[in-house]
Structure 1
Amino acid sequence: MERIYFIGINGIGMSGLAKIMKLKGYDVVGADLSRNYVTEELESLGIKVFGEHLAENVIGADLVVASSAIKSENSEIKKALELGIKIIKRGELLSILMNKEKGIAVAGTHGKTTTSSMLGSLLLDIDPTIVVGGILPEIGSNSRFGKTDVFIAEADESDNSFLYLTPEISIITNIEADHLENHGCLENIKKSFRQFMDQTSGEILVCDDCPEALELAKDRKNIKTYSIYKKESDIIATDIRVENFKTKFKVSIEGDEFGEFELSIPGNHNIQNALPVIYLAKKYGISKERIAQKLLNFKGAKRRYDILHSDKIRIIDDYAHHPTEIKATIQGAKTIEKNKTVAIFQPHRYSRVNFLLNEFKGSFEGVDEVILMPVFSAGEKNEFGVTLEKLKEKIGHKHCTIVEKNEEIEKIVESESESATFLFMGAGNISSLAHTIAENIGRIR
């Protein structure tokens, strides 16, 4: 049996592929410096997970898969090179699996995890393989090994690994400046998305509400557009309204009214995410009634407006860390959260804060208070002179404070006398704090 060794196996993208390879019959082993919520699932499948990176761990491996976060000086990388073991990136392994199937790839600066998870949920009836960047509640995992040739995957543009993919169908949710530490500028990002679209053999579903994405769609014959604003798009949502914490809307496809649907997750951005999913579910033979039922029951991927506690105090865990994502999350929150709303934000990476500093201006408009926590570095050094004071000034919210310690956040929640919603936002370890407070809230109040 061929042994595959994953360096950084607990990452959300790496762990999904590790599970798929184990289920395909490979001997899978890996290492990661930190345990998290996927580690136990990996171990339950019989995957050995080492807690440190040691050179001897890779001895006996036939293939090494390395996370993009792993540096060349990693001891396991060095040993694999010394032994002549082939090393590939996560994106390459995904392409090996997906490119020989009927691949549906979901790409975009924002929304790809929710969209790919929603699509996976709606197409479960046809037994697809799924690899997404979040935990999908319907399968309790970030991946599943299906028996058909339909393969749904989240396509990662952050390091251009999505350019390994040659999907049959692709969805482009939006295109915006992000991960500039890798891309340098927006034009380079657009160049990569243009190539990704070139590599799609069939239909490309493009959000008509994103000018950058629409620009790349010009003069292509295999485009279907979707929109919540433009009535001339191929797939449109109309009559949007919020009732009893549910977002309702009607959908028309190429001029014909298809039906009315409801979402349990808030925000116009999630209506946009749902439109290509509804179209593809219809294309794959899922009935309108089944689509409506599954959309209503879809609670979102883990860490996408994840309601951890709901009482007088509501605790929400959300992955938003880019200014656009923050605005979208707050817009969605304000459609259903009628009480005082406090955003607790952990900035992600010094490079992102530096490159997008100006974009944070006004990004927290709509909440009553903003609390800034220390930057989650993700292993970066602060070479940019980033400070929370600079970020606070740029955000420009009149009720913005800096809090350095988790214990202080717990005290703030504990002492809240009003009905309030606390939005814990960020891509780092702030999620653990949100979960801890949600678990303890009955004790501390």
Structure 2
Amino acid sequence: MELKSIKRVYFIGIGGIGMSAIARFFNERGVTVTGYDRTSTVLTRQLEAEGISIHYTDDVNLLDKATNLVVYTPAIPAAHTELTWYRDNAYEVVKRSDVLQEITRDLFAITVAGTHGKTTVSTMIAHLLRHTGYGCNAFLGGVSVNYDRNFWSSDKAVAVIEADEYDRSFLKLSPDIAILTAMDADHLDIYGTAEAVEDAFIQYTKNIKPNGTLLVRFGLHRNSDLKATNKLKYSLQNDAANVYAQNIKMENGGYIFDVVQQDWMICDIKMHIGGMHNVENAVAAITVAHLLGIDSDKIREAMEAFKGIKRRFEYLVKKEELVYIDDYAHHPEELRALITSAKTLFPEKRCIVIFQPHLFTRTRDFADGFAESLSLADEVILLPIYPARELPIEGVTSEMIAAKIEGPAVTIIPRDKVVAWVKEQQPELLITAGAGDIDLLREPLKELLS
């Protein structure tokens, strides 16, 4: 697959956050881009406005039969009619990760992997490189609030790529700088065991290009197994790491802090998004910018201008009497970090968490962890499980989590009843969390609470 020779490309599942970034990459290079998705969304409508033709019916009469390349997402069923037709007719059919593999070969690649934090760290790095004038091509798993985009291009032969562990797709990448944020168990429907998840992340670090750099979060299990010619450890504030934050102060729902390494230091960095875990994410991003030789004053200015990522500790309403935060958290550790950070920033406010479990397998595997994290809230509303690509599993429901929560009151209600429920309350600190269609509540709740 020679990227430069491709004139037409067809995407099956073009509306996915990762797929749409690659579609935009080709479209901005003058390639004819078309595609299919199951439903029209804000993102697909943006793609159409950018000149990409999309249809929403699985129909071989609508696909592009003159295309050079077909790209599909693993979320597409194997028996999908269009996908089957292209394969049966000997077209070049590849996964999204195969395209990213070629991009990492062609460009200086900065890849961010980990079960948590990868979207935030990759978006922070891409923002720092763009805002400071260094330049990069950004392939992100979330939408940057600064630019309302999950992709942007540059003449600079540098790519910042979110490296997704689902389906082991990140093992195809060849980074020059690899970041690893976490190795917690997840996607056990794919990997089977927590050890297999760890093994995959270890393999990811072995794919770093010769003389490349690994930046890894301090304290990870099996850290000693992570090999690289150049290896740096970052931390929130543990001075045993190579680089860390100190003098952290909370201010108006954000933070001011210094980033320290043995031979350099950047003081008084202001960050206007919440979450102590995001200070640690910023340490990683700032370290990458420093490795690339970007001036400290420019890094400081860029961090102060950073507005965050949609659905990553995103303030939708922030008033003295009421704060509403929306987050993509769909793993117990992400929920723990989200709720802990919110309650630390707003300790006087009663915290209500509305959570939608994502996947039957994940709920089955981590019900205890979800319950433990949600027990940190003052009240919990659970939505039914969002199935995504899965069929129901007998006995696996939101009640599994509810029965294990200790402390806060717990209610299970359908998504379409949530706004009416909130209207009857007087929330002080409200959090919506989950990776399913709970995001459809964002605007109605924002309108109600504003």
CA distance in 1, matches of 2:254, 2:229: 36
Which deviates more from structure 2 when the two are superposed, residues 254-263 or residues 243-252? 254-263
Q: Is the Cα contact below 8 Å between 1:351 and 1:384 reproduced in 2? A: no
1:369-398 CA-to-partner distances (Å, cap 9, x unmatched) read: 110001110031112520222210123343
TM-score using structure 2 length: 0.93
Post-superposition offset of 1:209:
3.2
Counterpart residue number, 1:378: 388
The answer on 1:203 being equivalent to 2:213 is yes
| TM-score in terms of structure 1 length | 0.94
- In structure 2, what is the equivalent of residue 49 of structure 1? 54
Aligned counterparts of 1:73 and 1:123: Cα–Cα separation in 2? 41
Partner in structure 2 of residue 8 of structure 1 = 13
- Correspondence 1:98-247 to 2 at 5 A: 98-124=104-130, 125-201=133-209, 202-212=212-222, 214-217=223-226, 220-247=228-255
- TM-superposed CA distance for 1:199, in Å, is 0.7
CA contact (8 A) 1:350 1:384 kept: no
Name 2:3's counterpart in structure 1.
none
1:250 aligns with 2:258: yes
Q: What residue in structure 2 maps to residue 73 of structure 1?
A: 79
SS in structure 2 of the partner of residue 378 of structure 1: coil
Aligned residue pair count: 438
Within the alignment, does 1:286 sit opposite 2:291 as a pair? no
Partners of 1:90 and 1:187 lie apart in 2 by 26
Q: Aligned with 1:92: secondary structure?
A: helix
The aligned amino acid for 1:20 is: F
Displacement after TM superposition at 1:242 (Å): 1.3
1:221-370 correspondence runs (5 A): 221-254=229-262, 256-311=264-319, 312-337=321-346, 338-370=348-380
- Paired with 1:151 and 1:331, the residues of 2 have a C-alpha distance of 33
Q: Using the alignment, how far apart are the partners of 1:281 and 1:179 within structure 2?
A: 31
Q: Residue in 2 aligned with 1:34?
A: 39
Distance 1:253 1:384, change over 3 A: farther
Q: 2:416 aligns with which of 406, 409, 418?
A: 406
Q: Deviations over 1:170-222 (max 9, x none)?
A: 0001111001101111111122111111111200000003234x2333x6442
Give 2:97's aligned residue: 91
CA distance in 1: counterparts of 2:394 and 2:273, whole angstroms: 37
How many Å separate the matches in 2 of 1:209 and 1:300? 26
In structure 1, C-alpha distance between the alignment counterparts of 2:24 and 2:415, rounded to whole Å = 36
What is the rounded CA distance, in whole Å, between the counterparts of 1:122 and 1:225 in structure 2? 20
Cα distance in 1 between the residues matched to 2:33 and 2:264: 49
Question: Which residue identity is paired with 1:189?
Answer: V
| 1:382-436 deviation digits (Å, cap 9, x = unpaired) | 12520222210123343111112423x112221223x512101000110111222
* In structure 1, C-alpha distance between the alignment counterparts of 2:114 and 2:423, rounded to whole Å: 38
C-alpha separation in 2, matches of 1:36 and 1:315: 24
C-alpha separation between the residues in 1 aligned to 2:112 and 2:420?
40
| TM-fit CA distance, 1:14 | 0.3
Q: Is the 8 A contact 2:354 2:382 kept in 1?
A: yes
Distance in 2 (CA, whole Å) between partners of 1:372 and 1:230 is: 36
Contact 1:341 1:368 in 2 (8 A): yes
Aligned to 1:19: 24
The one-character-per-residue Cα deviations of 1:238-271 (angstroms, maximum 9, x if unpaired) are 2222133221222111254332322212222111
Give the deviation of 1:295 after TM superposition. 1.4
In the aligned structure 2, how far is the partner of 1:191 from the partner of 1:101? 26
Gaps of 5+ in 2: 1-5
Flag the 1:28–1:159 CA change in 2: closer, same or farther, 3 A. same
